């Protein structure tokens, strides 16, 4: 164990809501520390992210003190010792020190305690087992500081036991490695994940979705996903073929274009070759409606971009809208090999930045004025006219529009003849 004042000057620790919660709970024989990811991040020079706090105080005592201090408390997981305190809109999860008495899958029977070592030993990875008190002293009961410095994601204790306690830890192993690790995954942990992969089938789709989407946007996503694929872990999750090459290409393209990492776009590169793939993955991971629509749109005939010139690309941009067009182009680019030096693919991808599709200028009134009655035929003629307008490359001149309207109206009139 080490106890060093490494974070004594951390602004997020010594002021604001964190300091207030720690002051509230560090009194009358009780103790509180910040634990887990915030400590890891601070030691790695990263923003703390969500701030979780562990305490010797029981949940009822935490809520009593919060009420006395006019701090909002929410019993978010009180049976397992967790109360959420909200200060100036920022949530702080406060959990009473625990030790597992029995574990089964994602559930466990716990006993509250006052032993910081046992509480650290029940966590997942050594770099997540660190804690820091209000003065900035970091406590390391599991070797987390050395592993954090080496960017090594390592299970606490026996990896097989940790995984059997909660099979979601398999996904967390790769996600944490992708975000904070370096080099190859820890071998003992990696082999334990492979041995325990059958347990992934028992996880809820919602939890798998959350971990997968976080993993896909991590800096080391490409290597971590490749390791998962080589270990036979991905097919259990996606139920189909995975494409690690297009995923790596998509990541390279995003970086080349200066784009923010997009989890749905990367998921499509990894799993979607046709729209049937999109439907399967959306069902298995219970994606949101927006995610499902994006995946389905990307999977729809993306290969046609291989032969599209800019004129036909403009028509597709008009039909799809900028967001869906952009995502589909990037998927096609990634599946074509992802050559980031390709001027042609870059031009197609950046088309929405150079050109905005005009609105279709003809209206129902234009055809009523040409003698057409309201009804199904009116909708049909508008569709024909819009198709002709697109084929003519979006003309806006009155003469061109009048010619398109006349021809569409004449065609519908011919079609309606007996």
Q: What is the pLDDT of residue 415?
A: 59
> Is residue 173 domain-shared with residue 73, that is, in the same domain?
no
- How sure is the predictor about 266, in pLDDT bands with cuts at 50, 70 and 90? very high
Q: Rounded CA gap, 285 and 209, in Å?
A: 5
254 and 350 within one domain = yes
Find the domain containing 218 and state its range.
Answer: 155-231
pTM assigned to the model: 0.88
Summarize the confidence of residues 289-309 as an average pLDDT: 94
pLDDT band with cut points at 50, 70 and 90 for residue 352: very high
pLDDT for the residue 13: 93
Whose tokens are 């809208």? That residue is: 321
Q: What is the mean pLDDT of residues 162-191?
A: 97
Distance, in Å, from the CA atom of 277 to the CA atom of 340, rounded to the nearest integer, reads 26
Indicate whether 393 pLDDT > 70: yes
Task: Reply yes or no on whether the pLDDT at 317 is more than 90.
Answer: yes
- End residue of a domain, out of 127, 150, 173: 150
**Same domain, residue pair 262 and 393:** no
Provide the pLDDT for residue 108: 57
The CA distances from residue 288 to 22, 181, 327, in Å, are 37, 29, 17
Total domain count, the chain: 4
Same domain, 216 and 94: no
With CA atoms as reference, report the closest residue to 22 among 49, 62, 59, 60: 62
pLDDT above 80 for 148: yes
User: Among 118, 150, 182, where does a domain finish?
Assistant: 150
52 and 112 inside one domain: yes
Pairwise CA distance, residues 359 & 299, whole Å: 26
CB atoms within 10 A of CB 103: 16
Q: Are 171 and 302 within one domain?
A: no
Dist CA 252 CA 341 (whole Å): 11
pLDDT bin (cut points 50, 70, 90) of residue 101 is low
Enumerate residues 6+ apart whose C-beta is below 8 A from 31.
25, 55, 56, 133
Kindly report, residue by residue over 184-203, the tens digit of the pLDDT. 999 999 999 999 999 999 99
Query: What CATH number did the domain enclosing 186 receive?
Result: 1.10.3090.10
Burial 357-385 (b: 16+ CB within 10 A, else e): beeebbeeebbeebebeeeebbebbbebb
Residues 6-20: tens digit of each pLDDT: 888 899 998 899 999
Same domain, 161 and 144: no
Indicate the pLDDT class of residue 102, thresholds 50, 70 and 90. low
Among the candidates 182, 208, 231, a domain finishes at 231
109 and 135 assigned to the same domain: yes
Assess whether pLDDT exceeds 60 at residue 107: no
Q: Are 340 and 382 in contact (CB under 8 A)?
A: no
- Taking 50 as the threshold, does the pLDDT of residue 417 lie above it? no
Q: Are 399 and 307 members of one domain?
A: no
pLDDT value at position 43? 94
Per-residue pLDDT at 75: 94
pLDDT of 140 = 95
Q: Is the pLDDT of residue 363 over 90?
A: yes
Q: Is the pLDDT of residue 205 over 60?
A: yes
**Which of 90-94, 102-106, 137-141, 333-337 shows the lowest per-residue confidence on average (mean pLDDT)?**
102-106
Please determine, for residue 418, whether its predicted confidence score (pLDDT) is greater than 50: no
**Phi, psi at 325, each rounded to 5°:** -60, -50
């Amino acid at each position: 164990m080490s106890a060093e004042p490494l974070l004594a000057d951390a602004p997020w620790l010594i002021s604001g809501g964190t300091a207030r919660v720690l002051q509230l709970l560090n009194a009358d024989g009780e103790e509180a520390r910040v634990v887990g990811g915030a400590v890891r991040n601070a030691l790695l020079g990263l923003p703390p992210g969500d701030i979780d706090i562990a305490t010797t105080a029981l949940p009822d005592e935490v809520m009593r003190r919060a009420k006395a201090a006019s701090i909002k408390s929410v019993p978010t997981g009180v049976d397992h010792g967790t109360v959420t305190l909200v200060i100036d809109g920022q949530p702080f999860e406060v959990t009473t020190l625990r030790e597992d008495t029995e574990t089964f899958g994602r559930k466990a029977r716990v006993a509250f305690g006052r032993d910081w070592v046992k509480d650290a030993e029940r966590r997942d990875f050594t770099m997540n087992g660190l804690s820091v008190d209000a003065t900035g002293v970091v406590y390391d009961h599991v070797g987390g500081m050395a592993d954090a410095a080496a960017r090594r994601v390592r299970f606490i204790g026996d990896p097989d036991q940790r995984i059997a306690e909660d099979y979601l830890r398999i996904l967390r192993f790769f996600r944490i490695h992708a975000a904070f690790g370096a080099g190859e995954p820890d071998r003992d942990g990696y082999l334990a994940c492979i041995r325990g992969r059958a347990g992934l089938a028992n996880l809820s789709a919602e939890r798998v979705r959350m971990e997968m989407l976080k993993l896909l946007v991590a800096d080391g996503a490409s290597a971590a996903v490749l390791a998962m694929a080589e270990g036979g872990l991905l097919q259990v999750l996606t139920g189909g073929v995975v494409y690690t090459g297009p995923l790596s290409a998509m990541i390279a393209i995003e970086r080349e274009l200066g784009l923010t990492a997009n989890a749905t776009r990367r998921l499509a590169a990894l799993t979607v070759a046709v729209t049937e793939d999109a439907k399967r993955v959306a069902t298995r991971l219970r994606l949101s409606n927006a995610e499902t629509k994006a995946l389905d749109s990307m999977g729809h005939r993306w290969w046609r971009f291989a032969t599209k010139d800019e004129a036909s690309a403009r028509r597709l941009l008009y039909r799809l809208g900028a967001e869906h067009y952009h995502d589909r182009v990037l998927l096609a680019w990634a599946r074509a090999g992802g050559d980031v030096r390709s001027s042609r693919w870059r031009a197609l991808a950046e088309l929405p930045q150079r050109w905005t599709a005009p609105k279709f200028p003809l209206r129902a009134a234009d055809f009523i004025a040409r003698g057409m009655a309201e009804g199904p035929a009116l909708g049909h003629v508008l569709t024909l006219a819009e198709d002709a307008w697109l084929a003519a490359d979006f003309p806006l001149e009155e003469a061109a529009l009048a010619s398109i309207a006349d021809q569409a109206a004449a065609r519908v009139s011919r079609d309606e003849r007996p």
